[in-house]
Structure 1
Amino acid sequence: MDAYFVETLVDEDDALVEARESGRLTTMPQAEVAPNQGKLLSLLVRMVGATRVLEFGTLAGYSTVWLARAVGEGGQVTTLELEQQNATVAEKNLERAGVLDRVQIMVGRAAESAQRLIDAETQPYDFVFIDADKPSNPAYLEASLQLSRPGTVIVIDNVVRNGAVIDASSTDDRVQGVRSVLEKIAKDGRLDATSLQTVGSKGWDGFTILRRAR
């Protein structure tokens, strides 16, 4: 089904194909979003009129290309990546896609990079995509809220984990990271959210989408 949807509705040019395939050169091969999810991110950015995007987790920059194209020539994407190896791969892909000039890659621990943005009183972001190490999801959400404004949309990826997220006693810190962030969202009166399961080329997973109301 994913292959059919992608073939029918998702127009991947050579730059996107090369960015996706270059994931094999990163520290987490084949961890990039599926093409139809990349297109979804692009559509969401355009739908909310976002011109400033924050991304947690760059890898080869596949989703970053989708986001950077969506914000347009006057937009800006800040993407946070732990490994220099991945950032180097991503930079080449962004340059090939013609969007390097609108992307800032910050290398280092994402929580620390986000704190630097907070300390610098960075202008709020309109859209945030969280797709990095799952145990840190609660910290990434907290940083995102400090770097956002009312109306900001936040998408958190990989929240189903083949159904393991329903197991409160799981010893998997990735599962607990997801559960913790969902509980945090549920208790925060500023946030309006839902989660959706997905079944496709990336297996059985899903994402949470939320909007900061105030």
Structure 2
Amino acid sequence: MTTRNIWPSSGNDPRWTAVDAYSCKHLNPASRPNAKALDDTLTASDAAGLPPISLSPAQGKFLALHCRAAGVTHALEVGTLGGYSAIWIASENPHLRLTTVEYNKTHVEVARKNIELAGLSDRIEVIHGAGLDVLARLRDEVTAGTRPQFGFVLIDADKENNWNYLKLAKDMVKPNSVICVDNVVREGQLADFTNRDPHTVASRQLVENAGKEPGVDSVVVQTVGVKWYDGWLWVVVS
């Protein structure tokens, strides 16, 4: 299975990439049933000009294994890109159905094709539309009982709306479900209060708001690897 540096940085430590490459070779070998589909998804996404910002293989498998351990049958993703993380989660959990939301029409087309080639079109629904609009509609469907509650949510889209996405997702999940928000540490800029980059400011607001939000308990998990230095906000909803 392909392991590549998808978040190049001048501060990248080659040990992080080496550990990912070594462990991936042994724990996600090319002989695994989903290996070719995942590699083909990255290749097709690159060929279509999509930005190389998918989750790393280790991150994708971690989320997939979490869904398996938690017995998740319905998951939600905000930010499909080329479908790489969606394929990871669904291919490792044959009883799981995933709904993924993407604003960019080209990304939607590439993802749907990748998902079709992976043989997962029957279990992965790709919805094209603005995240806030689609999530509001999904929330109404969950409230009305026409769509099942979700057991896991991955938020990996436009960072300025992370808090809004989390608030909407909170109303759609079962008790004790996890909402994972990607890219919140931002190479440590999260704690650099002189940094006023909009994505970093939004991440800081997300963390601070989550700490005050009733009914959730959260932790920031810092990560290193082929995606260099970043991290997740890991939220458990009561």
The TM-score normalised by the length of structure 1 is 0.93
Match of 2:159 in 1: 134
Give me the whole-angstrom Cα distance separating, in 2, the residues matched to 1:68 and 1:8: 21
Q: Which ranges of structure 2 fall in alignment gaps of 5 or more residues?
A: 1-18
Q: Is the CA contact (8 Å cut-off) linking 1:191 and 1:212 kept in structure 2?
A: yes
1:22 aligns with 2:47: no
**Could you say which structure has the greater relative contact order, defined with CA pairs below 8 angstroms and 6 or more residues apart?**
2
Q: Is the CA contact (8 Å cut-off) linking 2:188 and 2:230 kept in structure 1?
A: yes
Q: Which residue of 10, 20, 24 corresponds with 1:2?
A: 20
Match of 1:192 in 2: 217
Deviations 1:126-146 (A, max 9, x none): 000011111110011011111
Give SS of 1:101's match.
Answer: coil
Give me the whole-angstrom Cα distance separating, in 2, the residues matched to 1:124 and 1:70: 20
Q: CA deviation at 1:70?
A: 3.5
The residue type paired with residue 160 of structure 2 is P
Q: CA deviation at 1:42?
A: 0.6
Q: CA deviation at 1:21?
A: 2.4
Give me the whole-angstrom Cα distance separating, in 1, the residues matched to 2:164 and 2:48: 24
Give me the whole-angstrom Cα distance separating, in 1, the residues matched to 2:164 and 2:49: 22
Q: Which ranges of structure 1 fall in alignment gaps of 5 or more residues?
A: none
Q: CA deviation at 1:34?
A: 0.5
Match of 2:129 in 1: 108
> What RMSD, in angstroms, separates the aligned Cα atoms of the two structures?
1.5
Q: Is the CA contact (8 Å cut-off) linking 1:27 and 1:85 kept in structure 2?
A: no
The structure with the larger Rg is: 2
1:159 aligns with 2:191: no
Match of 2:62 in 1: 40
Match of 2:89 in 1: 67
Deviations 1:158-191 (A, max 9, x none): 1111111112342211111111111121112311
Percent of matched pairs sharing the same residue = 35
Q: CA deviation at 1:110?
A: 0.7
Match of 1:95 in 2: 116
Match of 1:53 in 2: 75
Q: Is the CA contact (8 Å cut-off) linking 1:87 and 1:107 kept in structure 2?
A: yes
Task: Call closer, same or farther: CA 1:87–1:204 in 2, change over 3 Å.
Answer: same
Task: Call closer, same or farther: CA 1:152–1:27 in 2, change over 3 Å.
Answer: farther
The TM-score normalised by the length of structure 2 is 0.84
Q: Is the CA contact (8 Å cut-off) linking 1:51 and 1:72 kept in structure 2?
A: no
1:204 aligns with 2:226: no
- Of 46-55 and 97-106, deviating more is 97-106
